[in-house]
Amino acid sequence: MNYLLNYLKGMAMGAADVVPGVSGGTIAFITGILDPLLDAIRKINPSLFGIIKQQGIKAAFLHINGPFLVCVFGGILTSIFTLAKIISWLLANQPIPVWSFFFGLILFSVIHMVKQVKGFNAARIALFIAGVAFAWFITVLNPIELEANYLTFFIGGAIAICAMILPGISGSFILLLLGLYPAVLAAAKGFDVVSLGCFAAGCGIGLLSFSHVLSALLRKFHDETLMFLTGLMLGTLGKIWPWKEVLTWRTNSKGEQVPLTEANLSPMQFEVVSGESAQIGIAIVCCLVGIGLVWGLEIFAKVSKKHAA
């Protein structure tokens, strides 16, 4: 049962990672697997060779909590390969309901994370503000257009994976800023093994490096780190606001016109500017579903802890 549950949590992380502006790390945090995930990844280091030599591969696999990692990353990969086409279609054809769902999910996740902090002081509040400012600055940056090749796939993977396990910052949004998001998504949909292999290699290097840093921060400065990460999450809400107007466009590497800069609008302004329905009713329902999902996970986590005790 635990294996299936961790697999489903991995799928939720993978689904979030496909959407620019939503972090798989946020899903990992609210589902309670971020700490064990970081701890397991942190154990993948040169000392593992000594364990293999002395006790064998099975002991090394159990040392890094291999069954847990297989379930989580299996779920992530399942989502990326099976949901990439669906989510791409939904973002193109039903953007308001999709963004409303994730807006509600992230909004309530901010409340969830704040409740994990044991106390507030000037330093922690300053870190929260710094997180909001940093995330806002990232979201208003104009995307650059890196040429999609094996080297940039490797570099993009190394940078994006850090954001993918960091609550608040979206790895797919980092790829969007680098101009690699369409190419990586196309590689996933087309199952381009070589390009995906280069991307995965970059992810592996970045993951093994950054997981040590984040794990150490959470161990030594838990509340301070949470406040900064919560600020990051709050600062990205503007990026996933459902009603937008495209101000400028750019031509991507395939010659397609894609949005470059966008402005947030109220639902009423959106109807006037676009001439389309703001879908307010559907948006509210989807937002509430996102809030309900996090709330349900929170209640489930509390019940699980009681049974474990």
* DSSP calls for 117-167: -----HHHHHHHHHHHHHHHHHHHSPPP----SHHHHHHHHHHHHHHHTST
Q: What is the pLDDT of residue 143?
A: 64
Q: What is the pLDDT of residue 1?
A: 57
Question: Domain map of the chain by residue range?
Answer: 2-308
pLDDT in tens, 84-128: 678 778 877 888 998 898 889 888 888 888 888 888 889 999 999
pTM above 0.95, yes or no: no
Residue with the two structure tokens 């406040």: 227
Q: What is the pLDDT of residue 20?
A: 65
Q: What is the pLDDT of residue 164?
A: 72
Q: Which residues of the chain have pLDDT under 70?
A: 1, 20-21, 84, 142-145, 168, 249-260, 301, 304-309
